[in-house]
């Protein structure tokens, strides 16, 4: 018994920096397109992921350190983001954006990731904390990220998705016809705050009668500050929970979105005048 206890102590002491319990995994998408994956540093005297200009992950007990200026994205969900997600990333070459699994985009500046579970984020000089389970991707260098992801999409080398969904028909999903000239379409689905819901949209709509006023679920070419969700283009597929819920972006992304509230789930198009709209999106909705 004494020998077994001593052996356990030695094992724990020798583990040092490396994780002894399950930790969130992350993929560092480099500016040259390479990827380094592993568990986020979570234990030891220094439990921060970002130290001395290096981002660190642990794979098979070995630490990998990559200079932060070589990292375009810290990715917690995998796959290739949709054009809609990329459109919400800061257009400023020096701007940074955190994309939540709910689809919300938060501008600001990356500070660190601590204890393997919490993102420290600077928003207008105020430090905020987000659980990593709520974070999809952190865009450190938006121009490099767009170049990497758009190049992969053009080559067809990486499927759009989060690794938790599918690019085919969602199993056990409900099909909803979202008319572009209808304010909101009731999906018939009731959700609870925090529920994870997958969406798979197809089709094209017209958000006006003029030539070129067409949109896929990711939206068209125009933006307006008075649209239900001004952060995404006109015509984009959006949702809300409850009659008075705040609209959120859906688009063509295939990762599961966390529901912001409890109530009935509605779908619509991002437009403030729908009388001149035509067409519809066909959306498969599936609760995980």
Digit-coded pLDDT (tens) for 221-279: 788 878 899 888 999 999 999 999 999 999 988 788 999 999 999 999 999 988 899 99
Q: Do 144 and 205 reside in the same domain of the chain?
A: no
Q: Do 38 and 119 reside in the same domain of the chain?
A: yes
Inside any domain, residue 128: yes
Q: What is the pLDDT of residue 68?
A: 95
Share of the chain above pLDDT 70, in %: 84
Q: What is the pLDDT of residue 28?
A: 93
CA dist 120 and 127 (Å) reads 7
Q: What is the pLDDT of residue 61?
A: 81
Q: Do 33 and 61 reside in the same domain of the chain?
A: yes
Q: Which of the four pLDDT bands, split at 50, 70 and 90, describes residue 33? A: confident
Inside any domain, residue 144: yes
Inside any domain, residue 218: yes
Range 37-40, long-range pairs (CB < 8 A, 24+ positions): 38/64, 39/116, 40/113, 40/116, 40/117, 40/132
Phi, psi of 48 (to 5 degrees): -85, 145
Q: Do 30 and 142 reside in the same domain of the chain?
A: yes
Mean pLDDT of 44-55: 83
CA dist 184 and 23 (Å) reads 40
Lowest mean pLDDT among 25-29, 161-165, 166-170, 209-213: 161-165
Flag whether pLDDT at 179 surpasses 60: yes
Domain's final residue, options 155, 187, 219: 155
Q: What letters, b where the CB count within 10 A reaches 16 and e where it falls short, cover 96-121?
A: bbbbbbbbbbbbbbbeebbebebbbb
Phi, psi of 185 (to 5 degrees): -110, 125
Domain's final residue, options 127, 155, 183: 155
Query: Which is more confident, 93 or 127?
Result: 127
* Mean pLDDT value across the chain: 82
Q: What is the pLDDT of residue 153?
A: 64
Flag whether pLDDT at 284 surpasses 50: yes
Q: Do 142 and 272 reside in the same domain of the chain?
A: no
What total of structural domains would you count in the chain? Answer: 2
Flag whether pLDDT at 151 surpasses 70: yes
Q: Which domain holds residue 89?
A: 13-155
Q: Do 115 and 222 reside in the same domain of the chain?
A: no
Bridge partners (DSSP) listed for residue 82: none
Inside any domain, residue 163: no
Inside any domain, residue 6: no
Q: What is the pLDDT of residue 8?
A: 39
Q: What is the secondary structure of 223-234 as a DSSP string? A: --TTSSSTTS-T
pLDDT digits (tens, 9 = 90+) for 155-170: 554 333 333 333 345 6
Task: Give the CATH number for residue 261.
Answer: 2.60.120.430
Share of the chain above pLDDT 90, in %: 42
| Burial label, 182 (beta-carbon count in 10 A; 0-12, 13-18, 19+) | middle
Most confident of 29-38, 57-66, 95-104, 233-242: 233-242
């Amino acid at each position: 018994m004494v020998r077994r206890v001593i052996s356990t102590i030695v094992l724990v002491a020798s583990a040092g920096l490396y994780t002894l319990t399950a930790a969130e995994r992350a993929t560092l998408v480099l500016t040259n397109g390479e990827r380094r994956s592993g568990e986020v540093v979570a234990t030891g005297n220094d439990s921060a992921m970002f130290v001395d200009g290096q981002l660190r992950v642990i794979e098979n007990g070995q630490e990998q350190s990559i200079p932060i200026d070589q990292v375009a994205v810290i990715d917690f969900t995998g796959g290739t983001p949709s054009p809609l997600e990329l459109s919400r990333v800061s257009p400023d070459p020096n701007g940074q954006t955190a994309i939540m699994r709910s689809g919300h985009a938060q501008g600001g500046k990356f500070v660190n990731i601590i204890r393997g579970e919490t993102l420290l984020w600077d928003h207008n000089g105020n430090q905020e904390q987000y659980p990593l389970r709520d974070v999809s991707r952190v865009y450190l260098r938006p121009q490099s990220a767009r170049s990497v992801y758009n190049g992969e999409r053009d080559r067809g080398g990486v499927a759009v998705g989060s690794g938790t969904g599918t690019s085919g028909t969602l199993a056990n999903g409900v099909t909803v016809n979202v008319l572009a000239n209808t304010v909101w379409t009731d999906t018939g689905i009731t959700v609870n705050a925090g529920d994870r819901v997958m969406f798979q949209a197809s089709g094209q709509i017209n958000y006006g009668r003029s030539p070129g006023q067409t949109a896929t679920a990711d939206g068209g070419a125009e933006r307006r500050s008075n649209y239900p969700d001004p952060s995404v283009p006109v015509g984009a597929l959006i949702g809300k929970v409850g009659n008075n819920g705040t609209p959120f972006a859906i688009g063509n992304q295939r990762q599961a979105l966390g529901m912001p509230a409890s109530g009935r789930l509605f779908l619509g198009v991002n437009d403030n005048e729908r009388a001149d709209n035509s067409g519809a999106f066909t959306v498969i909705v599936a609760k995980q």
